[in-house]
A and B are shown apart, each in its own frame.
Chain A
């Protein structure tokens, strides 16, 4: 062990030390690190962004672009919120980008939720028909920059759907089209079934 220590010591002394000091120089700037910023969200969104519920959303695994869009919308006040509009205003564009990098790399941990199996089965079909195009892999994928739906907390999904359907939250044009057809054909029950499907996924 002792020799190993010396060996490492020389390795570091001969070259890597310079590289090693770079982050420290950068840190002298006033922007906190991504983890320093992200840690302060954990009280509501869970350690590393996976919420244990019952309502506040998991933001781990979120797509980089959707995160930035969302935080910017909160900052401008164009997306309805109980509290995020007040919080997002505390961060610069650069800090938002840093946090996007952090949260998009975290694993979305899914916790068990109560759901009605019959509704979830019906919801699965509706999802395939109306939603899977932009919320791929049964709503598990982040790649569509549209928010992860599978395993998201049901009350949060319900609030989001209410906000979309009341017109308080702007819906992407094509999503609105699909949603309108869904509502017409399946009514509020269809929306409920979708929520049960998403919250049934582990």
Chain B
């Protein structure tokens, strides 16, 4: 107990007695307050910060292999030539200043009975609560001819970083008049409007640099997020619905379902063969691999949780937030991961202090940028329905940017999207 200073000692003592009064067993000193977080992305980093803010007597260890995290959000702007790659990089100094113990390691196993996390280096970390936010992994066997190796030449760019740069450079190097193929994934997947924002941003670059080129979105689905607003935006800027539309969207029904890619011949096979100068395959997705090792996933490959605390329904004292969890109607977005992590942090702090879980509240917002001056958003407020045991949308709240929004308002949305980026990254990493 030597590492506990007097102030936190008092909190601890208060919490202990509180717990006793409610019929919980006494918590012994020195243990009972260790949290291990797997994944230092949006969900994990936010949880680490908010736990330390609420109760500095809790020991928080964050396990994350990368020293620099690149946000996926706004990485599409890099493809459009509207953002510098450096601006999406974040380190862990801010969290260290808050007393978070950051370990640049990979977690390979979670033992729910012994309550330990095993690291690749061999070390085992004991925990009282473990929060898992590993994001997504790809189903490499879903599209013939596409795997982790092929992704080195045909980027997915659905984990930001070197993949983003690769895709940007390929679009820059392609000839005017070439095709960019975007293979969009089936539901559910990370960032539902993401592939369509990507098409918009690449179209912006092509319009200004290679105007004879075209983008084909080959989609598994019949419809997509913010479809009407995207298509109206494409109509305003990229000739959508005309003979020389820069963007073509081909739905699953209309022959957009890709079954095979040929990296040598640069062909995506759907109803017919599509030849591309650049092929961006966004594969079908599932929870990050550690969720499988830790036995946290359901049959579909995502992690079911109690949606008021994000505690796994499969193993107690393990919590899953962010894209890996089953949090619908909350989407797999950065805003949602940040919001879920705060609800989870509050629940974990309460639990470790012997209190019951607080009543949650959640928000999601996703901005999508069609040009540097034309943006739109979706927003929603959510609460927890006790009877249903589920997150529900608050009736009457949220929704999309109005299709009647003026050009001035759509321009403001771009500057507010940039503000959102600045504030959410600050709220997560500092």
- Among B136-144, B198-206, B218-226, B418-426, the stretch that binds chain A is B418-426
Highest count of chain B CB atoms <10 Å: which of A1, A4, A86, A155: A86
Q: What bracket does the count of chain A residues touching chain B fall in?
A: 35 or more
Interface residues of B (CB under 8 A from A): 1, 9-10, 13-14, 16-18, 20-22, 29, 50, 335, 338-339, 342-343, 346, 355-356, 358-363, 365, 377, 379-383, 386, 394, 396-399, 401, 405, 409, 412-413, 415-416, 418-420, 422-424, 426-427, 430
Contact check, A43 vs B14: say whether CB atoms are below 8 A apart. no
Q: CA A37 – CA B338 in complex, angstroms?
A: 13
- Among A12-20, A64-72, A180-188, the stretch that binds chain B is A12-20
Contact check, B358 vs A33: say whether CB atoms are below 8 A apart. yes
Q: CA A20 – CA B13 in complex, angstroms?
A: 13
Contact check, B422 vs A90: say whether CB atoms are below 8 A apart. no
Q: CA A159 – CA B410 in complex, angstroms?
A: 13
Q: CA A155 – CA B417 in complex, angstroms?
A: 13
Q: Known: A43-B339, A44-B365, A87-B379. Is A53-B419 also a contact (CB below 8 A)?
A: yes
Q: CA A46 – CA B428 in complex, angstroms?
A: 10
Interface residues of A (CB under 8 A from B): 1, 4-5, 8-9, 12-13, 17, 20-21, 24, 27, 29-33, 36-37, 39-47, 51-56, 82-83, 86-87, 89-91, 153, 155, 159
Closest chain-A Cβ to B389's Cβ sits at a distance in Å of 14
Q: CA A39 – CA B426 in complex, angstroms?
A: 13
Chain B residue numbers with a CB within 8 Å of A37 are: 361
Chain B residue numbers with a CB within 8 Å of A91 are: 381, 394, 397
Q: Sort A-B residue pairs by CB-CB distance and give the 3 closest, nearest first.
A: A90-B381, A90-B397, A56-B419
Q: CA A153 – CA B342 in complex, angstroms?
A: 26
Contact check, A20 vs B379: say whether CB atoms are below 8 A apart. no
Closest to A155 in B: B415
Closest chain-A Cβ to B7's Cβ sits at a distance in Å of 13
Q: Known: A31-B359, A86-B379, A86-B397. Is A36-B346 also a contact (CB below 8 A)?
A: yes
Chain A residue numbers with a CB within 8 Å of B423 are: 42-46, 51-52, 56
Contact check, B13 vs A8: say whether CB atoms are below 8 A apart. yes
Closest to A9 in B: B17
